[in-house]
Amino acid sequence: MEERDLRQLIGQVKAGRLSRRSFVQMMVGLGLTAPMATQMLASAGVAQAQTKAAPYKPTKRGGGGQLKTLWWQGATLLNPHFATGTKDQDGSRIFYEPLASWDPDGNLSPNLAAEVPTLQNGGVAKDGRSVTWKLKKGVVWHDGKPFTADDCVFTAEWVADPATASRNINTYKDLKVEKIDSHTIKITFKKPTPFWADAFVGVGGMVLPKHAFEGYKGDKSREAPANLKPLGTGPYKYVDFKPGDMVRGELFSGYHMPNRPFFDSIEMKGGGDAVSAARAVIQTGEFDYAWNMQVEDEILKRLEQGGKGKADIVAGGNIEHIQINFTDPYKDVDGERSSLKAPHPFLTDPAVRQALNLLVDRASVQEQIYGRTGIATANFLNQPARYASKATKYEFNVEKANQILEAAGWKKGSDGIRAKDGKKLKMLYQTSINQPRQKTQAIVKQASKNAGIDMELKSVTASVFFSSDVANPDTYAHFYTDIQMFTTTMTQPDPELFMLQFTSWEAASKENKYQGRNITRWRSEDYDKLFRAAESELDPVKRAALFIKMNELVIQNVVVIPVVFRPRVAAVANTLRMEQSGWDSDFWALHNWYREA
């Protein structure tokens, strides 16, 4: 889809002929994210939609008893800027709040901000170099001190400091925050920034209190007592924390929204596994909410028959995909395997990659393994079935794969395996230890055997596979196999960082200690050009068109084979009223949770 077509669609939304919702869904179908789509509309002057708030019924604060939640990976620390996973971000989100959050439709929903900055109200500058946020008045921290612009300025500086070694440093290092008055801040970006809604928004945007972290800057940052006893503005205040086991909070009577929160206390219990967590919510009703149900759909359906709870599914940006190695994992060049200097013997042949793409039976993987929790897709950036992009669609056809390979000169030998010029189509396929993944591997292996490709399966324990240990050959970054499979999480609503993993300068190698983000080691000048253009493109529509093209380039060249996109699945008790967002933390709207008998 060209930029021209996108502008036409936006024009239609402006004129009222196309609903906002349909536009957003179409953009998601092309591989963009909902927040990007809403930003496109906002830049064209289409009025920002109000977050469609689900009705909040309780008429007074408190009285709801205890909210019991289950995170099968327990939170290990309570500072969101040091989080090593969503469990820590969620644990922190109980107590801290950002200026705004992402709702499920990709709109910004204000928390500590008085209103969302837009072009119309002058919050967003036309040249893309600054944003002005107006802060809500009357907000207090849990210890009673008032929340002011000083806290925002301090948080930005604290996170941007490289000595703090915060995981959110990229969001805050290229900007400056200045205080205009006690409840207004202005963010100035070093260079024109198309996606401005990153700083102070969502999980990376929680504001820390200046008076609690004042004496703990730089390398002293990890010693702050507030890291373990959080002091925030959220609906619940800190009571107790046992790392890996339990986080407890109680109602904060000075909370800045009326009649909220409903519950008197909250508990976030950790440990165990996903299936027993699903059981505890859906079958026995011991808990009200459980996070990240990586459970087979068949089991979830059986549990739901108990009638106490259900699985709540919402779209996000995570994609389970198979990566193709463009370098040779078995050849050692200067002590490095999978080196850029040694191209792969047969995966660099586009015919082989196209054949592989045809051998992944996504429909079966969805039906038999993931069910509602995994939706077959052809795009690397997610895609709902109704709005399939014409340029990218998936197909499962063993016959066609055979034909393609035959035509490219890969003839079957006496052992049934195809070979050409002495090179056999024998592949090693690795992934982490996880039952649905092992089943997917078996399905792909079976289909490949019918096409004359011999596949050997390998599975590595998750804590090793996903580690960044330079010396360990089994990590996904080393990629010492021919193909590998895992889920990449798109933690930000903006795809720029996500698409960075196909640029040639990010190729992982021994030199950069395998920390480069381009693990397939694919290099393409066209892609690099498109990426550079998108980086500095201010016009959200032009930018979106560039990302769509980048996605198509990746899919058409079969650099990765997307399998299923993974929506977020949570287990929710039938009496609990809450809303999940795929673009933010599970607790993005914790203040609105209540129980209805």
Partner 1 sequence: MSKYFVRRLLILIPVLAGISLVLFTILALAPGDPFEELATNPNVPPEVRANLRAQFGLDDPIAVRYVRWFTSMVKGDWGFSFVSRVNVVTLIMQRLPTTIAVIGSAQLLGLLIAIPIGVYSATRPYSIFDQIATTCAFLGFSLPTFFTGLLFILFFSIYLDWLPFIYRADITATGWRWWWEHIRQAIMPVAVLGLAQAASMTRFMRSAVLDVIQLDYVRTARAKGLAERITIVKHVVRNALIPVVTLISLQVPTIFAGALITEQIFRVPGIGSLLISSILANDTPVVMAITFVFSALVVIFSLIADLLYGWLDPRISYR
Burial of 181 (0-12, 13-18, 19+ CB in 10 A): exposed
Q: Is the CB of 109 or the CB of 491 nearer to partner 1? A: 491
CB of 497 to partner 1, least distance (A): 5
Q: Is the CB of 339 or the CB of 492 nearer to partner 1? A: 492
Q: Is the CB of 214 or the CB of 273 nearer to partner 1? A: 273
Q: How many CB atoms lie within 10 A of CB 41?
A: 24
DSSP state of 234: S
- What whole-number distance in Å separates Cα of residue 294 and Cα of residue 487? 12
CB of 197 to partner 1, least distance (A): 15
CB of 393 to partner 1, least distance (A): 26
CB of 56 to partner 1, least distance (A): 26
Which is it for strands 289-290 and 66-71: parallel, antiparallel or unpaired? Answer: parallel
Binding site for partner 1 (CB under 8 A): 66, 70, 74, 76-77, 84-85, 162-163, 165-171, 204, 219, 222-223, 227-228, 240, 242-246, 248, 265, 267, 269, 271-273, 276, 279-280, 283-284, 286-287, 463-464, 466-469, 471-472, 474-477, 486, 488-489, 491-492, 497-498, 500-501, 512-513, 515-517
Q: Is 588 left (phi over 0), alpha (psi -120 to 50) or beta?
A: alpha
Q: Is the CB of 172 or the CB of 394 nearer to partner 1? A: 172
CB of 501 to partner 1, least distance (A): 6
Q: Is the CB of 60 or the CB of 513 nearer to partner 1? A: 513
Q: Is the CB of 127 or the CB of 223 nearer to partner 1? A: 223
CB 102 within 8 A of CB 201: yes
**Dihedral, CA of residue 293, residue 294, residue 298 and residue 303, to nearest 10:** -30
Q: Is the CB of 168 or the CB of 373 nearer to partner 1? A: 168
- What whole-number distance in Å separates Cα of residue 92 and Cα of residue 207? 11
Give the three-state DSSP class for 165.
coil
Q: Is the CB of 133 or the CB of 241 nearer to partner 1? A: 241
Cis peptide before 345 (omega within 30 of 0): no
Instruction: State whether the Cα torsion 290-95-242-75 is positive or negative.
Output: positive
CB 285 within 8 A of CB 309: yes
Q: Is the CB of 84 or the CB of 556 nearer to partner 1? A: 84
User: Nearest-CA neighbor of 543 among 554, 553, 532?
Assistant: 532
User: Nearest-CA neighbor of 39 among 132, 142, 96, 117?
Assistant: 117
CB of 294 to partner 1, least distance (A): 15
Which is it for strands 130-134 and 66-71: parallel, antiparallel or unpaired? Answer: unpaired
CB 479 within 8 A of CB 329: yes
Hunting for tokens 């549990």 — which residue is that?
303
Paired strand residues for 423: 420
- What whole-number distance in Å separates Cα of residue 92 and Cα of residue 161? 21
Distances (CA, A) of 201 to 62, 92, 205, 206, 585: 27, 14, 4, 7, 11
Burial of 390 (0-12, 13-18, 19+ CB in 10 A): exposed
Q: Is the CB of 107 or the CB of 283 nearer to partner 1? A: 283
CB of 507 to partner 1, least distance (A): 13
Q: Is the CB of 16 or the CB of 162 nearer to partner 1? A: 162
